[in-house]
Structure 1
Amino acid sequence: MAHVKKGFALLLAAVLTFGLAACSGSKDTAGSGGKKVLTVSVEETYKNDVESIKDEFEKENDVTIKIVEKQMFDQLEALPLDGPAGNAPDVMLAAYDRIGGLGKQGHLLEIKPSGTDSFGDKEMQQVTVDGKVYGMPLVIETLVLYYNKDLVKTPPKTFKELEQLTDDPRFAFASEKGKSTAFLAKWTDFYMSYGLLAGYGGYVFGKDGSDSGDIGLNNKGSVEAVEYAMKWFQEHWPKGMQDNSSADDFIQQTFIDGKAAAIIGGPWSAANYKEAGLDYGAAKIPTLPNGKEYAPFAGGKGWVASKYTKEPELAQKWLEYAANDKNAYKFYEDTNEVPANTAARKKAGEQNNELTTAVINQYETATPTPNIPEMAEVWTGAESLIFDAASGKKSPQQSADDAVDVIKENIKEKYAK
């Protein structure tokens, strides 16, 4: 009933605002001198960047760019309703793992890029589903290793070095004898632990993340990874590290307080460390005990266009324009977010920014997050995969098997053809 009421309210709003310029692809004759209007939705954080590049696009295409401020995920959640009602923006930013679902559901405009030479296969894979391209890559993200330069001179290169740090009395956890905070990682969170699983040979879906019928989270490699994680939970980490709801706060505060030498985290955390006055560094995550590289999810965001836009050609032009070599680097200068555009990324890597370099290097070992709709079931199904084993409730194999069973059952229920 609530959904019916919400749908009616949106329909009524659409009728009331039909003549206004907020609707997708409309003509704002009052403010644009009769020119076509392209509505661009971005978060407040990115508004200045769009402002700085829109003039050239407006002149080249005789169009007015209208900027709408809205949180990215709120905008993506609203698109299925706002689009048909005529209230969606023409173009917007989207996290890669949302693009596949929205594209397959018919809410994103399929595009035919004039050229993709500035992007590698990994970048294009994240905006492509079933051979159809639904966006242009803009930013790459992946987890990295943060380390405290006051506690360790150089970043650890192997997990063996991290294990050796747990013997250092500086990192002894006072409340629990024999436990250490030398190295911390929120492995009860599947997003954080996936790099461990993948490094041992585990995988989400087969065929480069496109085959939901082939789930590799309970194969031999995944189980070996869970067994290794158990070692940290049972031998080294305080019991609180098993609490998925509070572990991240514990990790962040411990690192900021100078009681952890190294942690695994995302580039979004750097601002907090800088604000805290921490002398931190960033590096590639150390090599695993099996000699393989940690392989976290490769994520980020790209420019996409609404399927409901009345200006599809202009929308595609904006996607390519905003993600080109020049503007992708401009976005990096404005936000410090690493470009997906390889030419811009190369230039960014030459700026001697430690975090930028760490993300670029780690991205080489990262695996694109599957962007098919079935991925939604993995996030929920795998949330207890490591916890159940770490807490001693289940064996590593049983924990992995049960997680995969949940994922398979949910996919069967929701996506059965």
Structure 2
Amino acid sequence: MRHFKKVFALLLVAILTLGMAACSSSKKTGSSDGKKVLTVSVEEKYKNYIEKIKTDFEKKNDVTVEIVEKPMFDQLEALPLDGPAGNAPDVMLAAYDRIGGLGHQGHLLEMKPSDTKNFGDKEMKQVTVDGKGYGSPLVIETLVLYYNKDLLKKAPTTFQELESLTDDKRFAFASEKGKSTAFLAKWTDFYMSYGLLAGYGGYAIGDNGSNPEDIGINNKGSVEGVEYAMKWFKNHWPKGMQDNTSAANFIQQTFIKGKAAAVIDGPWAAAEYKKAKVNYGIAKIPTLPNGKEYAPFAGGKGWVASNYTKEPELAKKWLEYASNEKNAYAFYEETNEVPAHLEARKKADKQNNELTSAVIKQYETATPTPNIPEMAEVWKGAESLIFDAASGKKSAQQSADDAVKVIKENIKEKYTK
């Protein structure tokens, strides 16, 4: 009998332990004071901003907002598993080019801002896939031109001006005769070179990024863009610019050391240049030799909600609240990231901030990054597009044709039902 009681006691403890573990691993639905809980996932650098804006939301909706600190891309990659398991946050930030895939796969709550006039068509397109909205735009970003004010009196406005700088001996690359570092751009990276191809008439995916059967990186315009890039690699740039792995660091360090007059980079580079105390200016990327504008990818991020949330209405309210004019501008003041909200953006543009103004101007010529799942194959297939041509392994046309062949084969294999 004593043995039976002992076994029974052990079983009871085990059952209670399992029950407690199950409770602790399930998604929290209420706070200690009985209020509903909305979990908001952001990176550590955005935590202070959420702390500032959450109070009003909590009071108005009688809810407790809990902050989860996690890198954005880690959170997005975990959502397909964490969501069904009940461990995902209710709302989170997402890069625009991830929203389409996650929404298409059923991981995001369908949601369309109540007043889309607060955002332009370009902004709404980046949170929409197959005609369905999956979030609310928060910020915009695109590539810009950085130039050294100690080396140039004003920002170059045409690529002809950039080409003429290669004759300036101040930028001669000592290790390779005849080569120059006057202007640098990581064109071996498709994200960086796309604006060149698009400026000549190329495109990634047809029908405004919705038709995966139409890949346009080997059309006449794209090939002309590749051929123009080849001239820079062959006639001006050091051979190391062909190395996609090390080119970014080479460009950054060359600009910091005052050996490059101008470079193409993203808004994120400003912090590093400021830290290095470079006297830099920021402007729209110069006009191409064909007279057309450089047309880089338009990016940024918006608020999205997990399709597994137990508080869908609260989640939708947060998306609207956190991206409204007041809070979008507050986010700008906190991070210097340009608002997607049109009125907040106008206010930001009046602050005489070079980075802000340059991003806004360049965004006008930028192309929304296709957000359908098939775009993943374009990124992969175009990885060696410029390198194969720049290294002399293939002609511009052959390199482009081969890239498209790979892309179409992969799309057919992975997405054809």
Q: What range is the shorter-chain TM-score in? A: over 0.9
| Unmatched runs of 5 consecutive residues or more in structure 1 | 1-13
Instruction: Give the match's secondary structure for 2:118.
Output: coil
CA offsets 1:302-355 (integer angstroms, 9 cap, x no match): 000000000000000000000000000000000000001111000000000000
Deviation string, structure 1 residues 375-402 (Cα, Å, up to 9, x no partner): 1111110011111010000000000000
Using the TM superposition, give the Cα deviation of residue 27 of structure 1 relative to its aligned residue in structure 2, in angstroms.
Answer: 2.5
User: Which residue is equivalent to 1:11?
Assistant: none
Q: Percent identity?
A: 80
Q: 1:189 to 1:205 in 2, by over 3 A?
A: same
Task: Sort the Cα spacing of 1:134 and 1:120 in 2 relative to 1 into closer, same or farther, 3 A.
Answer: same
Counterpart-to-counterpart distance in 2, 1:121 and 1:113: 13
- Asked whether the equivalents of residues 138 and 301 of structure 1 are also in contact (C-alpha less than 8 Å), the reply is yes
The residue aligned with 1:201 is 201
* Structure-2 residue corresponding to 1:321: 321
- CA shift for structure 1 position 115: 1.3
Aligned equivalent of 1:122: 122
Q: Match for residue 351 of structure 1?
A: 351
**Which residue does 1:44 correspond to in 2?**
44
Offset at residue 114 of structure 1 (A): 1.6
1:143 shift after superposition: 0.2
| Partner residue in 1 for 2:337 | 337
Q: Aligned partners of 1:15, 1:214: CA distance in 2, in Å?
A: 54
Q: Which residue of 2 aligns with 1:72?
A: 72
The SS at the match of 1:203 is coil
SS of 1:113's partner is coil
Give me the whole-angstrom Cα distance separating, in 1, the residues matched to 2:185 and 2:113: 39
AA aligned to 2:23 is G
Q: Secondary structure at the match of 2:264?
A: strand
Deviations 1:99-129 (A, max 9, x none): 0000010000001422111100000000000
CA distance in 1, matches of 2:113, 2:228: 44
State the match for 2:30 in structure 1.
Answer: 28
- Cα 1:245–1:387 shift into 2, 3 Å: same
CA distance in 2, matches of 1:114, 1:293: 34
Tell me the alpha carbon deviations over residues 74-101 of structure 1, each in whole angstroms, 9 at most, x when there is no partner.
0000000000000000000000000000
Contact 1:91 1:306 in 2 (8 A): yes
CA distance in 2: counterparts of 1:371 and 1:145, whole angstroms? 25
Residues 23 and 89 of structure 1 are in contact (CA less than 8 Å); yes or no, is this contact kept in structure 2? no
TM-score for both structures, normalised by structure 1: 0.95
The C-alpha deviation readout for 1:358-414, integer Å capped at 9, x for no partner, is 000000000000001111111110011111010000000000000000100111111
Supply the AA of the counterpart residue of 1:37: V
Distance, in Å, in 2 between the alignment partners of 1:113 and 1:332 is 20
Distance 2:34 2:362 in 1: 48
The 2-side partners of 1:311 and 1:348 are apart by 33
User: How far apart, in 2, do the equivalents of 1:256 and 1:114 lie?
Assistant: 45
8 Å CA contact 2:139–2:340 kept in 1: the answer is yes
Contact kept, 8 Å, 2:104 with 2:129, in 1: the verdict is yes
Output the amino acid matched with 1:322.
A
The structure that has the greater radius of gyration is 2
Query: Partner of 1:251 in structure 2?
Result: 251
Q: What displacement does 1:17 show?
A: 5.1
Determine if contact 2:31/2:37 at 8 Å carries over to the other structure.
Answer: no
Map of 1:105 onto structure 2: 105
Give the whole-Å Cα distance in 2 for the aligned partners of 1:413 and 1:382. Answer: 17
Other structure's SS at 2:116 match = coil
Name the CA shift for 1:266/1:15 in 2 (closer, same or farther; >3 Å).
farther
Q: Which amino acid aligns with 2:173?
A: F
1:123 and 1:207 mapped to 2: Cα distance? 17
Unaligned runs of 5+ in 2: 1-17
Q: Is the 8 A contact 1:386 1:399 kept in 2?
A: yes
Relative distance call for 1:41 and 1:16 in structure 2 (3 A) is farther
Name the CA distance, whole Å, in 1 between partners of 2:352 and 2:91. 33
1:213 equivalent in alignment to 2:217: no
For the Cα contact (< 8 Å) 1:198–1:294, is it kept in 2?
Answer: yes
Q: Secondary structure at the residue paired with 2:204?
A: strand
Q: Post-superposition shift, 1:19?
A: 2.2
Tell me if structure 2 keeps the 8 A contact 1:23–1:88: no
**1:253-281 per-position Cα deviation (integer Å, ceiling 9, x unaligned):** 00000000000000001000000010001
Kept in 1: contact 2:159–2:289 (CA 8 A):
yes
Deviations 1:215-251 (A, max 9, x none): 1000000000011000000000000000111111100
Q: Distance in 2 between matches of 1:371 and 1:16?
A: 41
4+ residue segments displaced more than 2 Å:
14-20, 26-30
